[in-house]
Amino acid sequence: MDKKNKHALQVSALCNGTVIDHIPADKLFAVVSLLDIPSMNNNVTIGYNLESKKLGKKGLIKIADRFFTDDDVSKISVVAPNVVLNTIRNYNVVEKREVRMPDELHNIIKCNNLNCITNNEPMATHFYVSNRKEGTLKCRYCEKEQNINDVELL
């Protein structure tokens, strides 16, 4: 097998589904668990520590016959803000979405402040992204600023 074919084997083509690319290697397994991949019956390929010019080492997830909603994308953005979602139909990339954290996060993450009403009342959380670059979020309720790296998903 020549070098080119070996490469093709590593990232074989998908007929229909989603390729999540440019996941920082250290975030790969967080994304895997976030999307609840272990409970999926779909054909899934996971690439770990692949070479990447942009990231050094990256992760990649290919999921056959599965497409993601905007809500899922918002969730992914919390764990890995700059990943790329490629939607594949009939072996062609029909859409390339760069995951961007939305301006507001509705019921995706938990507030870090134990004295926040959202941790004490059956209600949805709501955060404003105050600084996307730094990953700073502000809880709509307790108004505490917190960093995206310190918060837990709901």
Partner 1 sequence: MKSRSLVSINDLSREKILSLLETAGKFEENPNSKILDGRVVGSLFFEPSTRTRLSFETAANRLGARVIGFSDAATSSASKGETLKDTIMMVSSYADVIVMRHRLEGAARYASEVSPVPVINAGDGANQHPSQTMLDLYSIKKTQGTLEGLNIHLVGDLKYGRTVHSLLHAMRHFNPTFHFIAPEELHMPEEYRIFCRENNIPFTETTEFNEDVIADADIIYMTRVQRERFSDLMEYEKVKNCYRLTNTMLEGTKENLRILHPLPRVNEIAHDVDENPKAYYFQQAQNGLYVREALICDVLDIKI
The candidate with the shortest Cα–Cα distance to 90, out of 17, 19, 18, 15, is: 15
Kindly identify the residues of this chain, within the stretch 96-125, that bind partner 1 according to CB under 8 A.
113, 115-118, 120-123
The DSSP string of 39-81 is: G--S-EEEEEEEEETTTEEEEEEEEET----HHHHHHHHHH-T
Considering the complex, state which of residue 120 and residue 149 has its C-beta at the smaller distance from partner 1.
Answer: 120
Asked if residue 48 lies in contact with residue 96, where contact means CB atoms within 8 angstroms, the answer is: no
Considering the complex, state which of residue 82 and residue 107 has its C-beta at the smaller distance from partner 1.
Answer: 107
Considering the complex, state which of residue 66 and residue 126 has its C-beta at the smaller distance from partner 1.
Answer: 126
Considering the complex, state which of residue 97 and residue 138 has its C-beta at the smaller distance from partner 1.
Answer: 138
What minimum distance in Å lies between the beta carbon of 46 and partner 1? 39
Kindly identify the residues of this chain, within the stretch 120-149, that bind partner 1 according to CB under 8 A.
120-123, 139-145
What minimum distance in Å lies between the beta carbon of 12 and partner 1? 49
The candidate with the shortest Cα–Cα distance to 152, out of 79, 70, 80, is: 79
Applying CB under 8 A, what is the total number of residues that bind partner 1?
A: 16
Q: Under DSSP, is residue 32 helix (H, G, I), strand (E, B) or coil?
A: helix
What minimum distance in Å lies between the beta carbon of 4 and partner 1? 52
* Nearby residues of 103 by Cβ (< 8 Å), 6 or more positions away: 128, 129
DSSP 8-state assignment for residue 128: E
Residue ranges that bind partner 1, judged by CB under 8 A: 113, 115-118, 120-123, 139-145
